[in-house]
Structures are given as C-alpha cells and as structure tokens.
Amino acid sequence: MEFGHRHPVGFHRREFLQVGFSGLLGLGMPQILGARAVAAGSPGGLPRAMLAPRARSVIIVFFTGGMSHHDTIDMKPDAPEQIRGEFRPIETAAPGIHFCEHMPMLAARADKLAVVRSFSHGNLNHLNSTHLALTGQAQPGAFFDKIATRDDYPCYSAALDMIRPRVDGVPSGVNLPTYLMEGPLTWPGQHAGFLGPSHDPWQVRQDPNQAGFGFEGLALPAGLSVERLGRRRSLRDSLMPELDKAAARADQDPYSAQVERAMTLLLSGKVARAFDLSAEDPLVRDRYGRHMFGQSLLLARRLVEAEVPVVQVNMGRVQTWDHHQGIFRALKDRLLPPTDRGVSALLDDLAARGMLDQTLVVMIGEFGRTPKLGVLSGSKTDQVGRDHWGAVFSGMFAGAGVQGGQIIGQSDKIGGYPASRPYTPADLAATIYRSLGVDPAVELRDRLNRPIRLCLGDEIAPLYSAASVG
C-alpha cells in the first residue's frame, strides 16, 4: 500500500483559487472533491490502509525542551542528592506509583494514566529530537540544529491527511498555541515534510488566554487564508437557498452531492466556532486555569469536539522545559502548577463529556534530562540545572483504551538508562497511528517517488493490558 506526493490529494493553491463564487454553485470544486474521494479509497482509487481505530482523536501534550523525568514522574528518592534533586515524591491514586509533590492533581488521577519510563533514543539535540518525537523517524540528513525542510518526514496529522483525506472542511491537524521557532531555527517535525504544504496542519500562533483570541489567530496551510475563509463564511446567509437546493438534490444526483460537500467545505463554521472560547462556560475555563497552558488545553478539547483528529499542544515556547539553570524554581513556580491543573482539567472534562474513551492523550517531550545536576562537558548547565538526555525519559498516556494506574518500563537506579525494554519514538508513532486506525506499515512516496515505510516501530502493547507496576 503506497501513498505519495500526488496532485489529486489535497488542495494546491491554484486549485483553491479556482473555487470562487462559481465553485460554490457547483462549478470546479466537485471535480476536486471527486479526486479526493478517489484518493480516500473509493472504487478504483488508492487503498485506505486503515485498521479498526481505538480513538477518534489524539491530543499530543508536548513538553518542548525536554521535561525532566527525575523531577516529575520517575523520581529517584533513594539516589544521591545530586541526582534525586530537591523535590519529594508523593503517593498517587494508583498504589505503588509516586509523582512529584508539585503534581498533586495529576497524582490524584494516576489511576487514569499509564506512565512509560523507558523511552529512549540516542540524540541530544533539540531539533533532531523534536523531529524524532513528532514523526517517529530520524530526520533525513540530520546534523546539529538542522532546521525543518521539505525533505523531512511528515508529522502525524499530515500523514493521516494523506492516507485518510477529509472532504468536510475539518483539518486533519491543528498545532497550538505556538510555532516552534527561534531566530533562524525552525524546529522540524511540525509540518508535512515531503508530502507537501497542502497536508500541513493548521497552526495557531496566539495565546488562547489573550483577550480577543479567535479564528484570526490561525495560520492556514499554503493556498488558504483566514481572510479568504472568512469571506466565504460571510456568504452563508445569502447562499442558504443554494445549500437547501443542493441538499434536496443530493439523494438523486451524485454530482449534486459533490456540490453539497463543496459548500459544506467552504461554509462550515464548526472549526471556527471551536476557537470562540468566550462561548465556553467561565467555570470550565477557570478549572483549566486562566493561563496559556490551561486555555490551550481547553481549546484542544473544543477542537476534538469539532472532530479534528490530531491536536498538538506545545506546553510553552521553544525550549520552555530546557532547564540548564534553575530547574527547581522554574518547575515549582512556572511550569508544573499550570501543567498539573490544565492536564487534570482536560482529563476530567473529556471523561465528563464521554470523550475520553475516544481520545488518546499523549504527554511527552523530545527527551529527558541528565541524571546528575551540575556542569557537564561543554554546556552551560549550572549546579541546579540538568542537560539534555535522550538515553532514557518518560511519557504519560490516557484514554482510548489505555489501562491507567500502571508503570510500563523502568529506568535504572539513577534514571540514566533503561533497566527494561526500551521504547523508541518509532514505537510512540506506531501507537499513535494504530490508535487512529492507520497501519504503521503503509508506504508513502517521497518527492523522488521513493517508497518509505510510514513507521518502523511497534505499538506499545502494554498500554492496553491489565494494569501493573514495574
């Protein structure tokens, strides 16, 4: 099964420009939708490469910069002081599992969480490791601080958009609330890579906690713009008679059904409404926390409700969790409290709305931090900082069949290396793809038409087995 960088899949700028007013009335757009339907696996088209999904959506909570496992969810209280750090562990709702004292709300929900403590890879660079975490593949031609290019592998939502294209106006992916970029360095793994910009996820570039936040804070893929979509949406009232006519004809004429889908694609406000956080109950907003972390997680829930299959929430701006200096103060005062509150509210909210069983929540960074505090070779790490460390790190999972209250894998006594089976970013990718019903073994085609397997890893099967600790 192969999926490549082919013209009929996705809207190229020239195609979208063809969709003017005449397109809304059925001229031009149906042919494009028809091509996408073929690519989606209709008779005579490409195979779907789909499996029975575990989840309808995935929310990736990304700790950009690398969250310290020692000081959060894989503490080493019996290790020497220079390794164990300042924080103390507390009991959780899951017997035998301990979290950091500054994560009391997540500790109270540990029975919903599966913690993987033996993630591992061999990279120490932020950009290369981010590509690994967000695609499951090593960055092609990787070198230190290699920025994003169109030769990169696609992020999860982009691959999903190629394999299972949408025709209903809902994007396959939204990234928020920041774009991972610092000066000339653009973090790889955030877009569709060799699949092309038409499959890029939509990108939010504003803090959802700011007054006036809305749909205008969205950066769309190439060929689309908020202004263009806004003009289409403003035509809704005047075009309602045409929408009614198209709906009435749909059962009789397949061509008319395509017209109706074209109008729905251009005029649907479902995703735009998700960005209107002012419509949310203020008490719900308060539970998430009136800060960027909390409101971004709330927006993720609203986007999942709008049927966006992959939402990535960057918990901070680039390298927010990159603690070469002052790690304990930063975690205690700035990062762990809003994360603890926001993620806990997300889990509660999804469960209360009957959505947690259909939503996989993944919490992970690109790597962990060094076991030993202090100055390391060539770094600027001070006596209360930790350097980059990919040899072992942790992640958390919840929802969509994940059995909570368990620890999967172990790190050694100082949190330096795996003490049990290591899990790789490729295994993370396979888990995400398999959860969405995508076969990780499917082949894509790069820009040179070379076959490339989507994912080389295996699903983390213990996530779905009976709860265990150790």
Region of 183 (left: φ > 0; alpha: ψ -120 to 50; beta: rest) is left
Q: What is the mean pLDDT of residues 438-462?
A: 94
pLDDT of residue 51: 86
3-state secondary structure of 50: strand
From residue 418, alpha-carbon distances to 81, 117, 411 in Å are 21, 8, 4
3-state secondary structure of 418: strand
Q: Which CATH number fits the domain that encloses residue 153?
A: 3.40.720.10
pLDDT at 270: 81
Is 406 domain-assigned?
yes
Between CA 173 and CA 465 the distance in angstroms is 29
- Which pTM value belongs to this model? 0.83
**What pLDDT shows up at residue 35?**
40
pLDDT at 24: 31
Least confident of 64-68, 233-237, 339-343, 375-379: 233-237
404 inside domain: yes
* Predicted confidence band of residue 329 (pLDDT cuts 50, 70, 90): very high
Among 3-12, 126-135, 402-411, 413-422, name the one with the lowest average pLDDT.
3-12
256: in domain: no
Number of other CB atoms surrounding residue 24 within 10 Å? 22
CA separation for the pair 208, 199 (Å, rounded): 24
| In a domain? residue 42 | no
Mean pLDDT of the chain: 83
Higher pLDDT, 231 or 116: 116
125 lies in a domain? yes
The total of structural domains in the chain comes to 1
The answer, yes or no, to whether residue 470 has pLDDT greater than 70, is no
pLDDT of 43: 34
Task: Write the pLDDT tens digit of every residue in 85-123.
Answer: 999 999 999 999 999 999 999 999 999 999 999 999 999
**Residue located via tokens 């599992």:** 97
Q: One-letter amino acid identity for 52?
A: A
Residue 1 has pLDDT above 90, yes or no: no
160-214: pLDDT as tens digits: 999 999 888 889 999 999 999 999 899 999 999 999 998 999 999 899 999 888 7
pLDDT, tens digit (0-9, with 9 covering 90-100), for 259-289: 444 444 444 578 888 999 999 999 999 999 9
**Residue 137 is part of which domain span?**
53-223+270-446+453-464
pLDDT of 121: 98
State residue 268's pLDDT score: 53
Q: What is the per-residue pLDDT for 234?
A: 55
Percent of the chain with pLDDT over 70: 76
Domain assignment of residue 196, yes or no: yes
- Which runs of consecutive H residues, i.e. helices, occur in 221-375? 226-234, 236-250, 254-267, 270-274, 282-288, 292-305, 327-329, 336-352
Distances (CA, A) of 58 to 75, 83, 325, 431: 27, 34, 33, 11
Rounded to whole angstroms, the Cα distance separating 240 from 148 reads 43
- Measured distance CA(452)–CA(148) in Å, rounded: 19
Q: Find the mean pLDDT for residues 399-421.
A: 97
Nearest CA to 264 out of 249, 284, 285, 242 is that of 242
97 found inside a domain: yes
